[in-house]
Amino acid sequence: MTKVIFSFDIEDYINSHAADGVLWAAQLLRREGIRGSFNTAGMFAQALEKWGRQDIISELRDHHELTLHSHRHSMHPTINEYTDVADPYAAIDEVIEDETVGLEKLWRVFGVAPESIKTACPPGLSTSYAAHYAYAKMGFTIYDGDTLYDAYRNRPLFNCNIASLFYNTGLISGAFKKGREHIKEFVEQNVFSRDIFIFYHHPAWALIPSYCDLDNFNGVNTPSDRWILEEKRPEAEIQAFYENFQYLVELLKNDPRCEFATYGDIAKTLGGERVITKDMIPALRRQLDEELFPVTTPDSLSLSDIALACRDFLFGKEEHVCSDVYGFIATPHAATAPVTLSAEEVKALAKKLKDGRFLPEFLWAGDQKIGPADWLRAALAILDGEESYTVEPNSAWQIDLDQFPEYRDTYYNNRWIHCKEFEDRYLADRFRLQSWTIRLPKGTDRFIFPK
């Protein structure tokens, strides 16, 4: 059965006359007994208060799921702009500081305690690695609308300590402008092959034809007294959208293959404590020898999880309780010549792996430099009973990024509405350097695309 989520990005704190799109979408779902998930920008919540829209506030608070769509959305500096800095810890702290203000606005307006909001949604193309880590530190469990995802089944994909999900299709696009037969055909061909299918929507768009971001924040912040307001769509066009929306909901509601869900419902299925024990080492070693890639059996484990477990076992622990993991902040090294490591040398190098810190991109074995993947292979061999291990030159450190095409090809510079000073010096490359934190749900297929 496919879990279907209706996810709404509500961030237009400029066009007050488009706010009815939020109310009408929420009311439509409530009439059908469905809870929607409303990704709410902190400044949109503030605008609802200013506009006196208690009807929208009550509707969302009492009947739907509230999630965070960042504090300021596309107002500069955006999340990407202020996290494109050399110090990753400073970048993470900056996100926490700013997004806490957004949560406090939701709390003040809706009366919803910040700790009850567990899903974050990035504003346009702002999937900074620092935001992933920051939201996880803030207690969020899901990052929806991410650029790192399972493109085949849309299973939850864990990275940077948070579970990522993909927006499958928008409600104002393609088939949803063409009428019922096209909607029915789209659903049949696309929805039920997925574990989770997310229909997303920008409710303001049902009433106005353009993003407020493009009009007012394309590279610069337009002063609020000069904000550009959008004209309303023709009434016939608005009516046609809601008729199609209603038809889609009824179509899904009457299909036994569909189960409606919220992000909170998905969070309950993500699993609890993960523990690696020493007796798992042979099986983990075999899988990583086959391919350096996260595993789903005997548990959902990233490469960073396995590396930290190996460190603990080398120092005498019998089990490793998985916790927060980190990738790299610079491209890891790989040995360029054979290096034979004794058990004691492997153990000594394990001290370089620290909890709550990014992994080292190289390690010194005597006077020779080896990489973290070299050390991981050696540690698995020693823990599997070998007395020494010879690191082979030029072994791969990176996982197969072809399994995640959009993540592999992500770049941010000169895209969306970033200001001209934004260079993407660190973000895109560092996002890929977090690949050792990726994992998929326990007991499911190890890879996205069959090998």
- Pair (164, 131) in one structural domain: yes
- Pair (20, 137) in one structural domain: yes
Instruction: Give the pLDDT of residue 176.
Output: 72
**Contact between 444 and 243 (Cβ < 8 Å):** no
Instruction: Tell whether 248 is covered by a domain.
Output: yes
Domain assignment of residue 361, given as a range: 275-327+333-397
Instruction: Give the pLDDT of residue 175.
Output: 65
- Pair (301, 221) in one structural domain: no
Instruction: Tell whether 17 is covered by a domain.
Output: yes
- Pair (296, 225) in one structural domain: no
- Pair (31, 164) in one structural domain: yes
Nearest C-alpha neighbor of 48 from the set 73, 8, 11, 74: 11
Nearest C-alpha neighbor of 154 from the set 140, 172, 142: 142
Q: How far is CA 80 from the centre of its chain?
A: 14
Instruction: Tell whether 402 is covered by a domain.
Output: no
Separation of alpha carbons 100 and 310, rounded Å: 36
- Pair (315, 253) in one structural domain: no
Instruction: Give the pLDDT of residue 119.
Output: 98
Mind listing the pLDDT tens digit of every residue in the chain (451 residues)?
Answer: 999 999 999 999 999 999 999 999 999 999 999 999 999 999 999 999 999 999 999 999 999 999 999 999 999 999 999 999 999 999 999 999 999 999 999 999 999 999 999 999 999 889 999 999 999 999 999 999 999 999 999 999 999 999 999 999 999 876 677 889 999 999 999 999 999 999 999 999 999 998 899 999 999 999 999 999 999 999 999 999 999 999 999 999 999 999 999 999 999 999 899 999 999 999 999 999 999 999 999 999 999 999 999 999 999 999 999 999 999 999 999 999 999 999 999 999 999 999 999 999 999 999 999 999 999 999 999 999 999 999 999 889 999 999 999 999 999 998 889 999 999 999 999 999 999 999 999 999 999 998 8
Last residue of a domain, one of 397, 416, 443: 397
Tell me the HSE value of 228 on the side-chain side, using a 13 A CA sphere: 13
- Pair (102, 189) in one structural domain: yes
Tell me the HSE value of 381 on the side-chain side, using a 13 A CA sphere: 20
- Pair (216, 306) in one structural domain: no
Instruction: Tell whether 405 is covered by a domain.
Output: no
Last residue of a domain, one of 207, 231, 261: 261
- Pair (189, 152) in one structural domain: yes
Instruction: Tell whether 421 is covered by a domain.
Output: no
Separation of alpha carbons 414 and 391, rounded Å: 41
Instruction: Tell whether 145 is covered by a domain.
Output: yes
Q: HEC string of the chain?
A: CEEEEEEEEECCCCCHHHCHHHHHHHHHHHHCCCCCEEEECHHHHHHHHHHCCHHHHHHHHHHCEEEECCCCCCCCCCHHHHHCCCCHHHHHHHHHHHHHHHHHHHHHHHCCCHHHCCEECCCCCCCCHHHHHHHHHCCCCEEECCCCCCCCCCCCEEECCEEEECCCEECCCHHHHCCHHHHHHHHHHHCCCCCEEEEEECHHHHCCCCCHHHHHCCCCCCCHHHCCCCCCCCHHHHHHHHHHHHHHHHHHHCCCCEEECCHHHHHCCCCCCCEEEHHHHHHHHHHHHHCCCCECCCCCECHHHHHHHHHHHHCCCCEEECCCCCCCCCCCCCCCCCEEEEHHHHHHHHCCCCCCCCCCCCEEECCEEECHHHHHHHHHHHHCCCCEEEECCCCCCCCCHHHCHHHHCCCCCCCCCCCCCCCCCCHHHHHHCCHHHCECCCCCCCCCCCC
Instruction: Tell whether 407 is covered by a domain.
Output: no
Last residue of a domain, one of 397, 414, 436: 397
- Pair (147, 83) in one structural domain: yes
CATH assignment at residue 31:
3.20.20.370
Separation of alpha carbons 143 and 128, rounded Å: 11
- Pair (204, 285) in one structural domain: no
Instruction: Tell whether 169 is covered by a domain.
Output: yes
- Pair (8, 49) in one structural domain: yes
Number of domains in the chain: 2
- Write down the pTM of the prediction: 0.97
